[in-house]
Structure 1
Amino acid sequence: MQRPRTEIDENGYDRPSKSQVKREMHALLDLGKKLIELSPERLKQLKLSDELREAIRLAQKTTAREGKRRQIHYVGKLMRHVEPEPIIAQLDEWENGSREHTRSMHKIEALRDLLIRDDQALTPFTEEYPGGDIQQLRSLIRAARKEAQNNSALQVGQEPQRKHYRALFQHIKSQLDLTEIP
């Protein structure tokens, strides 16, 4: 009877080394720790077995140091029977999605400030993001400038007005959303 052929690595071994197995187990343990830190709402969005979900919930509740350590290791042990790639992808999307959102909000803020500050910025903006109501945009820019001018004359302790400033932000945001959707 012939043995089935297996992959042989560069060192001549047909299975992962102990070190490699240990690294993989530590990676799964770290992934389990990340899952324990998630909110219940986020955990519900992941496809996890009931046993793993219950172990994570119990680890979140455990306050005793040694008990928590044991429960974390139990979660890591259960993680060996789970396909980690979809979980890693979802965690990465949540983490980077918030970065993308922050980056887009900063872009909108910069555009708003540029439009308020510079009269010449409106033409390039309307060329880059066509299809919007230019008259409404001009009106919002004028109102935001007037609001900024009134705010600069306020006394210390008086609350500045931000109504038109925010309205301009929302208008720019809707304009960018319209043009960036395929």
Structure 2
Amino acid sequence: MHDEFDEDEPGDDQEEYSVSKSQLKREAHALLDLGKKLVQLDKASLAKIPLPDNILDAVNSARKMHQHGALKRQLQFIGKLMRKTDAEPIQAAYESITDHFRADIQHLHQIETWRDRLITEGDSALGELLSQHPDADRQHLRQLMRSAKKERELNKAPRAARELFQYLKGLMAGKVS
């Protein structure tokens, strides 16, 4: 009869579910890093994140601090507050905001690449662009391309290149015909 209970010792269940001290420290550092990132966000982006009032107040206080020691203590305090709350929705909201920023930056890089290709490659790049965007104004694009190329050759301010960029930005957003 006693043999049935020998397999389960009282300490076994605790060992399976306990988290190591190192893991707790890694999680605490991750929350501290998230707190630092929250402090660096602008007000509009921060408003989109579902923060409890105490964390929001702590983040706003940290934004006003300029002394390194005080700021470091405040960031530690934010990390402590975050450990007491469920940080998953906060992390998810932060990632969605930063993913949106990354997508915007990638889109702008794509437009810059098209602008540079149009200026350097000329008609071959224009043909490729027009195949992707048949509603583009070919004559206006060629005029902007010629002006931008001439500005580069003469080392003038890139006014036409900026205009070309803005036109491409509107074209890729579907606002230009």
Same fold (TM over 0.5): yes
Amino acid at match of 1:52: I
| Residue of structure 2 equivalent to 1:172 | 168
- The structure-2 alpha-carbon separation of the partners of 1:145 and 1:8, relative to structure 1 and needing over 3 Å to count, comes to farther
| Residue of structure 2 equivalent to 1:142 | 143
Tell me by how many angstroms 1:150 deviates: 6.1
**How many residue pairs are counted as aligned between the two chains?**
163
Tell me by how many angstroms 1:46 deviates: 1.4
Task: State TM-score, norm by structure 2.
Answer: 0.71
Tell me by how many angstroms 1:63 deviates: 4.4
For 2:56 and 2:153, how far apart are their aligned partners in 1? 55
For 1:90 and 1:66, how far apart are their aligned partners in 2? 29
Are residues 1:128 and 2:132 paired?
A: yes
- The structure-2 alpha-carbon separation of the partners of 1:143 and 1:42, relative to structure 1 and needing over 3 Å to count, comes to closer
Task: State TM-score, norm by structure 1.
Answer: 0.69
Are residues 1:115 and 2:118 paired?
A: yes
1:141–1:168: 8 Å Cα contact kept in structure 2? no
Structure with more helix by fraction: 2
Gapped regions of structure 1 (runs ≥ 5) = 1-6
1:52–1:78: 8 Å Cα contact kept in structure 2? yes
For 1:21 and 1:143, how far apart are their aligned partners in 2? 58
Tell me by how many angstroms 1:8 deviates: 5.8
Identity %: 34
- The structure-2 alpha-carbon separation of the partners of 1:72 and 1:171, relative to structure 1 and needing over 3 Å to count, comes to closer
| Residue of structure 2 equivalent to 1:3 | none
1:23-42 pair list within 5 angstroms: 23-42=26-45
Gapped regions of structure 2 (runs ≥ 5) = 1-11
- 1:19-77 deviation per Cα after TM superposition (whole angstroms, max 9, x unaligned): 32232222222222222333333322211111111122223334455544433222112
2:144–2:164: 8 Å Cα contact kept in structure 1? no
- The structure-2 alpha-carbon separation of the partners of 1:52 and 1:153, relative to structure 1 and needing over 3 Å to count, comes to closer
1:112–1:168: 8 Å Cα contact kept in structure 2? yes
For 1:147 and 1:175, how far apart are their aligned partners in 2? 18
Tell me by how many angstroms 1:107 deviates: 1.9
For 1:62 and 1:150, how far apart are their aligned partners in 2? 46
